Structure 1
Amino acid sequence: MKNLTLLWSNFWNRYTWIVRLIILAIIIVIYRWALSGLQVDFGLLKDSYPYIVDFISRLFPPNLSVLDIAIKALIETIQMSLWGTTIGAIISLPIAIASSRNIAPQWLRWLANLLQNAVRSVPSIVLGLLFVAATGLGAPAGMLALSIYTVGYLAKFYQEAIEAVNPRSLESLRVIGASPSQIAQYGILPQILPLSLGYTLWMFEYNIRAASVLGVVGAGGIGFQLKSYIDGFEYTKATTMMLVLLVVVTIIDAISSQLRHRLESMS
């Protein structure tokens, strides 16, 4: 085994270009395989260009008569995202602690990671449909769907932050007899707080967009109004909704990016 490793090391050092060509060939084969499975008809795409132009032309000019409706729906979307992200963040923290290899025992990590994977495997649309069935149409269903959707991602982000904590600080606390809750409170939280707040801000920004998608299944917010106008072929009103969403998402993105940079510089 040792000789085989030595031979491979010598071959890699001597014929690096051959190895790179082999890797490139494998990548090309994988992408060709993926493209063949898609069965893309490039001729059909070329012929569909006039239909795309026709659809886009129906979106303009925006109908500003629904601007007040768009703003009200947008406020509802932000409220859904704010509460959904906050609830999801609170639930995510204990799950992240339970799934971190530098804190939790193996059996608990296995269960916590299984829970994370289960949540991430459920599309947001399905969560929206589930809570619409439970609470009816409107923003409460969207808020609950966003809460669960947030857990699937923030728990993983928090877990990565916890596992990157300096192990010496945790070992020092264990030596003096600190309990697991004290280790989490004094050894982990101060180190991960700036990074975790940055992740939470990013998730809030993302949930603004996700909330607009959940509106398609009746979970409230600007997405519900957007779908209603598209279903009624009122495309210029739908454009107003999209433009308002674009402006607000751009502003929130700029603000949260600045806050994330400041928080990361503190970590």
Structure 2
Amino acid sequence: MIKTFKTLKFKHPLFFKSVKQLLILLAVIAVYTWALQGLQIDLKLLKDSWPYIVDFITRLWPPDLSILDIAIVRLIETIQMSIWGTTIGAILSLPLAVLSARNLAPRWLQLCANFLQNLVRSVPSIVLGLLFVAATGLGAPAGTLALGIYTIGYLAKFYQEAIESVDRRSIESLQVCGASWLQIAQYGILPQVLPLGLGYTLYMFEYNIRAASVLGVVGAGGIGFELVNYIKGFEYNKATTMMLVLLVVVTAIDALSSKLRQNLEANNRSLDKN
């Protein structure tokens, strides 16, 4: 009887589930341990670096508000770059997402489109900025083009996921009725994808505000260009003003984007109920 009990115990589904969870936990611990060893963190060096970190932070205060007008002008330029960069990226991402979707495109076309997505995502925004600075010169046009290409790599993937998550029954119903590929996309997919796609686009616009400031490092315009110049010139108080202005605007855009996304989700839920 004891032997039978032990046999049943080891064959119980809960036992196998516990073993599986334990193996996953050990695998996660092993991966993080391996990653930590690769970092080669020197705790003594970190401890000795604190005085330098504190010294740098204290030099940032108080902010120099005499350049507030310059900061606002550069911030407006950054927003303009983000608007156009996000729009260009969104327009070019849509056909790429359609060609990548499993429920719309043939397998060979999916592979080509997905490879193109991965290729764009593998190029850092700084490299794109350098490329377009070399092509168009210093300033906002280079940053706008860099943001547009950078946006394609991510929005195309987001749009693809949204397209692949649509209700298959609506597509099958249209196919049974003899609808064309374009009609299926227009009436079966677009109404379901539009709210989610707009939410992704708003998120990407918010992200591009920050990315545009980073592109200033390579001279691609925006508030980042002035920020880097002030830091290089050891004018840390002026750099603080630039960062504070950017913080206020990013926070405001984040709140506005979150509100718009909530409204889109609420409208989408109401349409589903109807």
Shift of 1:21: 3.0
Contact 1:157 1:196 in 2 (8 A): yes
SS in 2 for 1:72: helix
Name stretches of at least 5 consecutive residues in structure 2 with no aligned partner.
1-7, 269-274
Equivalent residue number for residue 129 of structure 1: 130
2:180 maps to a residue whose letter is S
Equivalent residue number for residue 215 of structure 1: 216
Could you say if the C-alpha distance between residues 169 and 18 of structure 1 is closer, same or farther in structure 2, counting changes exceeding 3 Å? closer
Contact 1:81 1:207 in 2 (8 A): yes
Q: Indicate yes or no: 2:266 matched with 1:243.
A: no
Equivalent residue number for residue 193 of structure 1: 194
Shift of 1:109: 0.6
Shift of 1:190: 1.1
State the 4+ residue runs in structure 1 displaced beyond 4 angstroms.
Answer: none
Could you say if the C-alpha distance between residues 43 and 11 of structure 1 is closer, same or farther in structure 2, counting changes exceeding 3 Å? farther
Distance across 2 between alignment mates of 1:150 and 1:200: 9
SS in 2 for 1:101: coil
Q: Describe the superposition over 1:208-236 as per-residue Cα deviations: whole angstroms up to 9, x where unpaired.
A: 00000001100000000000000101000
Shift of 1:63: 0.4
1:119 maps to a residue whose letter is V
Contact 1:142 1:214 in 2 (8 A): yes
Shift of 1:168: 1.2
Q: Describe the superposition over 1:45-75 as per-residue Cα deviations: whole angstroms up to 9, x where unpaired.
A: 0010000000001000000011000000000
Contact 1:12 1:19 in 2 (8 A): no
Equivalent residue number for residue 48 of structure 1: 49
Q: 1:30-69 counterparts in 2 under 5 A?
A: 30-69=31-70
1:145 maps to a residue whose letter is A
2:15 maps to a residue whose letter is R
Name stretches of at least 5 consecutive residues in structure 1 with no aligned partner.
1-6
Contact 1:229 1:235 in 2 (8 A): yes
Q: Indicate yes or no: 2:28 matched with 1:27.
A: yes
Instruction: State the TM-score, normalized to the length of structure 1.
Output: 0.94
Could you say if the C-alpha distance between residues 187 and 18 of structure 1 is closer, same or farther in structure 2, counting changes exceeding 3 Å? closer
Could you say if the C-alpha distance between residues 104 and 231 of structure 1 is closer, same or farther in structure 2, counting changes exceeding 3 Å? same
SS in 1 for 2:204: helix
CA RMSD of aligned residues (A): 1.4
Q: Describe the superposition over 1:158-208 as per-residue Cα deviations: whole angstroms up to 9, x where unpaired.
A: 101100111111112112222211211111111111110010000000000
SS in 1 for 2:225: helix
Shift of 1:37: 0.6
Equivalent residue number for residue 79 of structure 2: 78
Shift of 1:10: 3.2
Shift of 1:18: 3.9
Shift of 1:12: 4.8
Contact 1:85 1:204 in 2 (8 A): yes
Contact 1:117 1:152 in 2 (8 A): yes
Shift of 1:137: 0.3
2:84 maps to a residue whose letter is W
Contact 1:142 1:220 in 2 (8 A): yes
Equivalent residue number for residue 162 of structure 1: 163
Equivalent residue number for residue 105 of structure 1: 106
Instruction: State the TM-score, normalized to the length of structure 2.
Output: 0.92
SS in 1 for 2:63: coil
Q: Indicate yes or no: 2:19 matched with 1:14.
A: no
Q: Which moved more, 1:145-154 or 1:176-185?
A: 176-185
Could you say if the C-alpha distance between residues 11 and 119 of structure 1 is closer, same or farther in structure 2, counting changes exceeding 3 Å? farther
Count of matched residue pairs: 260
2:104 maps to a residue whose letter is I
Equivalent residue number for residue 4 of structure 1: none
Could you say if the C-alpha distance between residues 11 and 120 of structure 1 is closer, same or farther in structure 2, counting changes exceeding 3 Å? farther
